[in-house]
């Protein structure tokens, strides 16, 4: 077995394969990772020069481009020899064909929804393992009995590398432009996301967001194919293509089964689920679990007790009446828009930048009045500065440590009511960090080291939207 890429999932895959008795050949394009693997005793083999007749399977780390923008030499050589790259999720499907699985995808919200579904199931007493694109790699999942559930966050990268997907429930929250270079454009990105529903088991349920055009159109196509589709929305008016939504969230915070008119849960006490975007996440979780037979009372209790996730509107501290919020998971403009929309005008000291995504930040223009000052970091800083020029004051900081220090100094000096230093980068993290989690952890460490009087602080507390 060959493993390409020695990140978190690649290392877990190599360990699992070796534990299963396979001879494992590993490779990574980064020399430092190859050196580390050699020191750990792995058989590091240049897969560009491999005789593929000796290889049963190539397990590909999804973060490595293999087709677009150009075919990777290893993927090209493997395919030429008839060895199709797959990811670790494919191996889970092959080795646990009878497992109960729920798959969650979408441009935004999939991590929260995955964790939320797992939390509700665990709170109801079911054995659960959750992870995939975020958190625990799937080949590190424990074996579960028949009453257990695997809840898997699936990226577009993973979906195009999983050939044997078998899901009891599939959730697609939304589709907005992202990763277009990896998929050859928007059509390729939508096609990758839609593969989720090719993997539904007979009788499985498709839960599809209908608050954006691409997802709504896909939901209609799935209905035409005869699949069991539950559309969800957090945005009135409710109804798509003449069909009722199964479960939706409202601005009043009440989650309702529109088909029956029955309330499912009051989201107001669910402090870790602020904002309309989280109402959609809650609706997706509730619809999925209702379809799998979970009692509404158990769903409601799980929604209200959900603690939230790190790096998503996570309040780190309140120092001299200034809030410090870690939203490092906001790796694109849609996610940053949700965070910026939570604060009053001229209260946000915004830390943004990193590795640029398609389209830059022009879509955030309606929220510029909320930004008091922007502190720009990473590769994208010059481009972000050009967009903000004449609209929002900014400082080119370069690094996160400089940005935190300067934002802290300005926010404390100006003492504006409701001030917040917000890390919501609208960019990927890979130019300066290993991951968005690494970026968020560094932000937390920098904030923790700041001077000043701390008040009303509770580590890991979720930030509650003001709007």
Q: pLDDT tens, 257-269? A: 777 777 788 888 8
257 and 329 in a single domain? The answer is: no
Evaluate the CA torsion angle 460, 441, 424, 131 in order and state its sign: negative
Q: Is the CB of residue 111 less than 8 Å from the CB of residue 329?
A: yes
The residues annotated with a catalytic role in the active site are 110, 133, 179
Q: Which residues of the chain have pLDDT under 50?
A: 237-245, 457-459, 464, 466-467
268 and 129 in a single domain? The answer is: yes
42 and 179 in a single domain? The answer is: no
Q: Is the CB of residue 405 less than 8 Å from the CB of residue 447?
A: no
> Is residue 238 assigned to a domain?
yes
151 and 288 in a single domain? The answer is: yes
CATH code of the domain containing 232: 3.40.1190.10
252 and 369 in a single domain? The answer is: no
Structural domain total, the chain: 3
Boundary (domain end) residue, out of 86, 112, 134: 86
> Is residue 32 assigned to a domain?
yes
Look at residue 242 in the predicted model and tell me its pLDDT. Answer: 39
CATH code of the domain containing 66: 3.40.50.720
> Is residue 82 assigned to a domain?
yes
101 and 198 in a single domain? The answer is: yes
- Greatest C-alpha distance within the chain: 67
Indicate the helix (H) or strand (E) that contains 353: strand 348-353
> Is residue 340 assigned to a domain?
yes
State both tokens at 137.
């790699």
Boundary (domain end) residue, out of 34, 57, 86: 86
> Is residue 385 assigned to a domain?
yes
If DSSP codes are grouped into helix, strand and coil, which group holds residue 171?
A: strand
* Helix boundaries (H) for 262-351: 275-291, 296-305, 333-340
> Is residue 154 assigned to a domain?
yes
250 and 377 in a single domain? The answer is: no
The domain containing residue 393 runs over which residues?
A: 314-462
347 and 249 in a single domain? The answer is: no
* Helix boundaries (H) for 131-274: 156-159, 180-183, 186-198, 213-224
- Would you tell me the crossing angle of helices 436-448 and 400-414 to the nearest 10 degrees? 50
Look at residue 463 in the predicted model and tell me its pLDDT. Answer: 57
297 and 259 in a single domain? The answer is: yes
413 and 401 in a single domain? The answer is: yes
466 Cβ neighbours under 8 A, 6+ residues apart: 342, 343, 344, 418
> Is residue 45 assigned to a domain?
yes
> Is residue 467 assigned to a domain?
no
Looking at the DSSP bridge assignments, the partners of residue 326 are 314, 423
Alpha-carbon distance 320 to 432, whole Å? Answer: 29
Boundary (domain end) residue, out of 54, 71, 86: 86
48 and 65 in a single domain? The answer is: yes
Look at residue 181 in the predicted model and tell me its pLDDT. Answer: 65
97 and 132 in a single domain? The answer is: yes
Look at residue 272 in the predicted model and tell me its pLDDT. Answer: 78
Task: Please report, in angstroms and rounded to a whole number, the separation of the first and last CA atoms in the chain.
Answer: 52
Q: From residue 258, how far is each of 24, 164, 287 by CA, in Å? A: 51, 33, 11
If DSSP codes are grouped into helix, strand and coil, which group holds residue 36?
A: helix
CATH code of the domain containing 347: 3.90.190.20
Alpha-carbon distance 463 to 381, whole Å? Answer: 26
């Amino acid at each position: 077995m060959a493993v390409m890429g020695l990140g978190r999932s690649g290392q877990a895959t190599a360990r699992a394969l070796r534990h299963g008795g396979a001879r494992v050949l590993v490779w990574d394009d980064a020399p430092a990772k190859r050196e580390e693997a050699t020191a750990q005793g792995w058989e590091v083999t240049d897969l560009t020069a491999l005789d593929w007749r000796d290889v049963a399977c190539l397990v590909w780390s999804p973060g490595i481009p293999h087709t677009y923008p150009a075919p990777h030499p290893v993927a090209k050589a493997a395919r030429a020899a008839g060895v199709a790259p797959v990811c670790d999720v494919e191996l889970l499907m092959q080795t646990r064909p009878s497992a109960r699985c729920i798959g969650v995808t979408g441009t935004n919200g999939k991590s929260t929804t995955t964790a939320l579904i797992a939390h509700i199931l665990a709170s109801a007493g079911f054995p659960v393992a959750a992870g995939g694109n975020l958190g625990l790699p799937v080949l590190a999942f424990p074996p579960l009995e028949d009453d257990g559930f695997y809840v898997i966050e699936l990226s577009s990268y993973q979906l195009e590398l999983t050939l044997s997907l078998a899901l009891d429930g599939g959730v697609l929250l939304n589709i907005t432009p992202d990763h277009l270079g990896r998929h050859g454009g928007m059509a390729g990105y939508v096609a990758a996301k839609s593969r989720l529903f090719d993997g539904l088991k007979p009788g499985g349920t498709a839960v599809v967001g209908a608050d954006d055009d691409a997802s709504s159109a896909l939901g209609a196509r799935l209905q035409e194919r005869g699949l069991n589709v539950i559309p969800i929305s957090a945005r009135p008016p409710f109804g798509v293509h003449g069909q009722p939504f199964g479960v939706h969230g409202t601005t009043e915070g009440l989650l309702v089964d529109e088909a029956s008119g029955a309330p499912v849960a009051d989201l107001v006490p669910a402090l870790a689920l602020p904002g309309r975007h989280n109402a959609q996440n809650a609706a997706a979780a509730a619809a999925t679990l209702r379809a799998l037979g979970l009692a509404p009372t158990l769903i409601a209790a799980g929604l209200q007790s959900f603690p939230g996730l790190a790096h998503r509107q996570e309040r780190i501290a309140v120092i001299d009446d200034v809030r410090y919020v870690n939203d490092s998971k906001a790796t694109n403009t849609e996610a940053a828009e949700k965070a910026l929309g939570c604060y009053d005008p001229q209260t946000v000291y915004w830390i943004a930048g990193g590795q640029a995504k398609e389209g830059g930040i022009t879509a955030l223009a309606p929220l510029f009045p909320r930004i008091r000052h922007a502190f720009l970091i990473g590769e994208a800083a010059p481009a972000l500065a050009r967009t903000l020029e004449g609209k929002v004051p900014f400082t080119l900081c370069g690094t996160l440590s400089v940005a935190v220090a300067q934002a802290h100094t300005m926010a404390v000096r100006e003492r504006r009511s409701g001030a917040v230093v917000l890390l919501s980068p609208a960019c990927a993290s890979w130019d300066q960090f290993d991951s968005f989690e690494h970026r968020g952890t560094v932000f937390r460490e920098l904030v923790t080291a700041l001077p000043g009087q701390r008040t009303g602080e509770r580590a890991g507390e979720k930030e509650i939207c003001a709007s």
